[in-house]
Amino acid sequence: MVARPPVAIVVDRMSVDDLGAVQEIERESFTTPWPPNAYRSELENNRLAHYIVARYEDRLVGFAGMWMMVDEAHITTFAVRKAWRRQGIGERLLLALLDLAKARGAREATLEVRPSNHPARRLYEKYGFALVGVRARYYTDDNEDALVMTTQALDGRQMRDRIAALRAAVARRPDVELGDDGLPIRRAGTEAQAQGAVEGGASGGESAGGGRAVAPDVPRPNDSRRSS
Ligand SMILES: CC(C)(COP(=O)(O)OP(=O)(O)OC[C@H]1O[C@@H](n2cnc3c(N)ncnc32)[C@H](O)[C@@H]1OP(=O)(O)O)[C@@H](O)C(=O)NCCC(=O)NCCS
């Protein structure tokens, strides 16, 4: 039963006041969460960094970040609170990041993702990211490779049309509906079902540990770890 009115998600800049909630989402999303001070250092010391959050009222339900590397936007981190997944929040965050990247003069956007992270790969593919390379044994917890995915030119016709169509589809989405427990009511094809699918060996599920860029105290994405 729907106990509350539908809710609107707002995308905003991340501030240091958000870091407690960001850590909670980190811990439920990644096997190797960034250390607690990594985000603080990113916000306070890294002038290349841009971090955003998705909020519902006073609750932080997702976040994402990127580094602006000259004319390339490198997405460093991306996660949505488990109970709030499959509600289009990831798409809203990605749209906001791509808008920010374009406004800051990025020619393209790039990122690393685990091959096993099917939800994230699907999201990125939907937004025009394509495989351009592999970083061998990139993730130090289990030595899984990282796939490097990059968009076409952000101001090119294909990306502009794709983003416009996706933005329109997101705008048409109904607002999130909350149940009696104050959490979103799951749609068909939820995270739990996806998890079951991956445990059963099918594709399309959640990976064990998310996987994005390595934490910011290790070499930056344009350093010698880059592979093609
Ligand atoms: C990846 C992640 C951020 C997606 O967030 P989300 O809010 O659930 O995503 P959305 O609801 O906006 O979904 C957008 C698209 O992503 C894809 N997707 C998301 N979850 C999926 C799942 N469980 N299975 C398959 N595809 C999925 C689909 O293409 C979906 O579009 P659709 O609704 O038209 O099918 C979220 O699953 C997450 O936080 N995962 C853990 C952390 C992580 O892996 N981060 C990425 C690091 S590279």
108-113 and 10-13 strand pairing: unpaired
Centre of ligand 1 from the C-alpha of residue 8, in Å: 18
Stretch 145-162: mean pLDDT, rounded? 98
For the Cβ of 88 lying below 6 angstroms from any atom of ligand 1, the answer is: yes
For the Cβ of 209 lying below 6 angstroms from any atom of ligand 1, the answer is: no
User: Does residue 131 carry a pLDDT above 90?
Assistant: yes
Of all atoms in ligand 1, which is nearest to the CA of residue 194? 23
Question: For the purposes of burial, counting CB atoms within 10 Å of the CB of 165, is it exposed (0-12), middle (13-18) or buried (19 or more)?
Answer: exposed
For the Cβ of 211 lying below 6 angstroms from any atom of ligand 1, the answer is: yes
Centre of ligand 1 from the C-alpha of residue 120, in Å: 5
Prediction pTM value? 0.87
Query: pLDDT higher for 227 or 170?
Result: 170
Pick among 1.10.1040.10, 3.40.50.150, 3.40.630.30, 3.40.50.720: CATH of 10-199: 3.40.630.30
Question: What would the DSSP string read from start to end of 42-65?
Answer: HHHH-TTEEEEEEEETTEEEEEEE
Nearest to 43 by CA among 52, 34, 33: 52
Residues involved in catalysis: 112, 124
59-69 and 72-80 strand pairing: antiparallel
Nearest to 224 by CA among 131, 129, 115, 138: 138
Centre of ligand 1 from the C-alpha of residue 85, in Å: 7
Nearest to 109 by CA among 63, 142, 156: 156
Centre of ligand 1 from the C-alpha of residue 217, in Å: 26
User: Does residue 123 carry a pLDDT above 70?
Assistant: yes
Cβ atoms of 212 and 77 closer than 8 Å: yes
Stretch 173-197: mean pLDDT, rounded? 69
Stretch 185-201: mean pLDDT, rounded? 46
Can you name the residues that pair with 62 across neighbouring β-strands?
A: 54, 80
Ligand 1, atom 24: nearest CA belongs to which residue? 119
Give the pLDDT confidence score for residue 102 in this predicted structure.
Answer: 96
Of all atoms in ligand 1, which is nearest to the CA of residue 207? 44
Give the pLDDT confidence score for residue 14 in this predicted structure.
Answer: 97
Sequence length of the chain is 228
User: Does residue 201 carry a pLDDT above 60?
Assistant: no
For the Cβ of 119 lying below 6 angstroms from any atom of ligand 1, the answer is: yes
